[in-house]
Amino acid sequence: MRNKKLKISLQGALGSYSHQACTKLFKNATAVPCDSFDSAIDFVRKGKADKAILPVENSTYGRVADIHALLPDSKLFITAEYFLPVDICMLGTKGSSLQSIKSAMSHPVLIGQCKKFLRINKIRSVAGYDTAGSAKIVAQKNKPEIGAIASKIAAKIYNLKVLNEKIQDNKNNTTRFLIMEKKPKHFIKKEKKVITSILFQVRNIPAALYKAMGGFATNNVNMIKLESYMLGGSFKATQFFADIEGHPEDDTVKRAMEELSYFTTKLEIIGVYKQHSFRYKSE
């Protein structure tokens, strides 16, 4: 019996950077394009896809706000991370040139990664709902003065010309992706170089966050990310998302989590996964 082909949901059209990351991480999977990040998550929840691959932060632009707002309520579990070096291209129709381009369309996150190039070449940016979708629109309009900021794979899919490569401001430009799926029955095996992702809400007492963080310091557990979210439109109720180095079954992590629980009203593990090799190769 042949193995079932994985279905991976992603935001955007085929040819997006999420699609590129998907092809590199899952060699024989079927990419399932979705109109939004929320839809990509919902496809997994409803069983229409096995996993979702979602960009969460970029080394130049910073965090992808939409994703961080969705993570706490996704009801999915983080099972892997992937780092994709992002080479950004200026694309145009077959009859265009870099000099003919007056405006370029792309997702705001990608536009934010090549502001210098756009300024030098006096090209006006136009926000699109995603990178590959912008390339598709430019191909359909077929006007030499309109370009798209996207990937080489998008140029190939939509029959556009690469007018300029590597236009990103930061040549080490990299995007981190999370792979999310329904919660597995068991965590991955205890080993070195594991990340545990958690959600927690601190009690409404003075210095609660400071006290909650104390257990990580005293147990020598490295916290590599801490994000905050407003709850229910209130400026007083706050939820936190954190990535820590270590496995939930490590003694140091256990003690830190026990101490954290004293100062929180909610504490949930939403991911346990191996660190991607990019992290320690770049050390």
Please indicate, yes or no, whether residues 70 and 99 belong to a single structural domain of this protein. no
Residue 101, token pair as written in the block: 């381009």
pLDDT tier at 253, thresholds 50, 70, 90: very high
DSSP output for 58-118: ETTTEE-HHHHHHGGGS--EEEEEEEEE---EEEE-TT--GGG--EEEE-HHHHTT-HHHH
Catalytic residues: 175, 177
Does this model's pTM top 0.75? My answer is yes
pLDDT digits 0-9 by tens, 130-165? 899 999 999 999 999 999 999 999 999 999 999 999
Rounded-to-integer distance, Cα 283 and Cα 222, Å: 15
pLDDT tens figures, 45-70: 999 999 999 999 988 888 886 676 77
Res 197 pLDDT > 70: yes
Assign residue 104 the CATH number of its domain: 3.40.190.10
Strand, coil or helix: what is 126?
A: strand
Query: Residue 224: which CATH number?
Result: 3.30.70.260
Q: Final residue of a domain: which of 181, 207, 241? A: 181
The tally of domains found in the chain comes to: 3
pLDDT tens sequence across 212-244: 899 999 999 999 999 887 766 666 667 889 999
**Torsion angle (degrees, nearest 10) of CA 130, 131, 136, 142:** 120
Instruction: From 181, 207, 229, give the residue that closes a domain.
Output: 181
Whether the CA torsion 128, 111, 167, 19 is positive or negative: it is negative
* Average pLDDT for 71-76: 84
Predicted pLDDT of residue 236: 63
Query: Are both 97 and 80 inside the same structural domain?
Result: no
Higher pLDDT, 187 or 203: 187
Confidence at 256, pLDDT banded by 50, 70, 90: very high
User: Do residues 237 and 230 lie in contact, with contact meaning Cβ atoms separated by under 8 Å?
Assistant: yes
Q: Is residue 187 part of a domain?
A: no
Boundaries of domain holding 264: 194-281
* In a shared domain, residues 201 and 276: yes
Measured distance CA(32)–CA(11) in Å, rounded:
9
What is the structure's pLDDT at 232? 64
Q: State the Cα angle at 26 between 226 and 269, rounded to 5°.
A: 30
